[in-house]
Amino acid sequence: IELELSLRHALAHDQLRLAYQPIVRLSGARLTGVEALIRWEHPTRGTIAPTKFIPVAEETGLITDLGRWVMREALRQLAEWRRNDVVTDEFWLSINVSPRQLRDPRLPGELAEALAENGLSGESVMLEITESVMVDGSQVTDQVMADLRGLGVRLVVDDFGTGFSALGYLRRHPVTGVKIDRSFVGGLGTNPEDEEIVRAVVAMSSALGLTVVAEGVQTQSQRDVLQALGVVYGQGWLWGRPQDPETFARLRRPAA
Ligand code: G
Ligand code: G
Ligand code: MN
Ligand code: NA
């Protein structure tokens, strides 16, 4: 309850920020997108981790307002970067959405409106959803996902491989890609089992026409193994930590 109240306060008093972490195309290491990650700067308690407050927001329903804020702020930022030529037109923005947001039939309309306000198309947005969303499979969620796809928005399964073993859901839902969980990336180059898992995910994704992003890439050798296995996109400390938008823009524009 206490956390809920202060989160409500944070939302109303501008204590929330978004950090942005680069996503690259492995071949050429070209920047191709960013993931927006929420940050809470509490005036007295310092930074509070999203793993602490997102579950509370989800339980209390506050995630609806919070998610709306994230969406609008991230799209505003993307439009600004485009105007200032910080990013190209193919550059995409990944936004995390929680299961409860996907059960809200207003979500596609709100996203469409935020896109229009910022002069952006749905293709510039990727939503990261959890495996549980598809396993629970409510009809509302199915409709919401279909409507989002109708906007051109891509849907990727986050933390792929950690949740559920049934893969049939990938076929039954309109997802466009998967994000290999970082727990399978850490051991690449040293743990042959992780390599086999990534190989299997790539084979399956290729068969289903899904794009693959590997997260938590920290070393050049992990990167090399991923590329050899056919993974196209990567994200991780090797290319950059989640950073504030000013830092992101500055790193894109080398000093003259
Ligand atoms: O970088 P990091 O510690 O911020 O992220 C921790 C977790 O919080 C990740 O699993 C991420 O999916 C989740 N998260 C970060 N930002 C958001 C957000 O805006 N919405 C939701 N639903 N989850 C988020
Ligand atoms: O679960 P989700 O993928 O949405 O959240 C991404 C989380 O992974 C964030 O907490 C982010 O800070 C963290 N992260 C991003 N890159 C790396 C990395 O290279 N190594 C580790 N250990 N964590 C990372
Ligand atoms: Mn994510
Ligand atoms: Na993840």
Confidence of residue 164 (pLDDT cuts 50, 70, 90): low
What single string gives the DSSP state of each residue in 4-18? Answer: HHHHHHHHHTT-EEE
Is the CB of residue 82 below 6 angstroms from any atom belonging to ligand 2? no
Instruction: Kindly state the tokens that stand for 255.
Output: 């000093």
> Nearest C-alpha to atom 5 of ligand 2 is from which residue?
37
pLDDT above 60 for 43:
yes
pLDDT above 90 for 9:
yes
Give the pLDDT confidence of 87-146 residue by residue, as tens digits.
998 999 999 999 999 999 999 999 999 999 999 999 999 999 998 888 777 899 999 999
CA neighbor of 104 nearest in space, from 140, 154, 79, 157:
140
ipTM above 0.85, yes or no: yes
Residue 76: what pLDDT?
A: 98
pTM exceeding the 0.80 threshold for the entire prediction? yes
Is the CB of residue 242 below 6 angstroms from any atom belonging to ligand 2? yes
105 alpha carbon – ligand 3 mean position (Å): 22
Residue 1 resides in a domain: no
CA distance 208 to 243: 33
Residue 66 resides in a domain: no
> Nearest C-alpha to atom 10 of ligand 2 is from which residue?
37
Confidence of residue 256 (pLDDT cuts 50, 70, 90): very low
255 alpha carbon – ligand 4 mean position (Å): 33
- The total of structural domains in the chain comes to 1
pLDDT above 60 for 11:
yes
What single string gives the DSSP state of each residue in 220-246? Answer: HHHHHHHHHTT--EEESTTT---B-HH
Residue 19, classed as helix, strand or coil, is strand
Residue 162: what pLDDT?
A: 85
Residue 48 resides in a domain: no
Residue 162 resides in a domain: yes
215 alpha carbon – ligand 4 mean position (Å): 7
- For the domain that residue 240 is a member of, what is the CATH number? 3.20.20.450
**pLDDT above 90 coverage of the chain, percent:** 86
CA neighbor of 121 nearest in space, from 93, 95, 142:
93
Residue 252: what pLDDT?
A: 86
What is the CB neighbour count within 10 angstroms for residue 174?
A: 13
> Nearest C-alpha to atom 4 of ligand 1 is from which residue?
37
Residue 111 resides in a domain: yes
Domain extent, residue 145, equals: 19-36+71-251
Residue 43 resides in a domain: no
Residue 207: what pLDDT?
A: 93
pLDDT above 70 for 15:
yes
Residue 126: what pLDDT?
A: 98
Q: Are 173 and 141 in contact (CB under 8 A)?
A: no
Residue 116, classed as helix, strand or coil, is helix
CA distance 115 to 111: 6
* The residue count for the chain: 256
Residue 166: what pLDDT?
A: 63
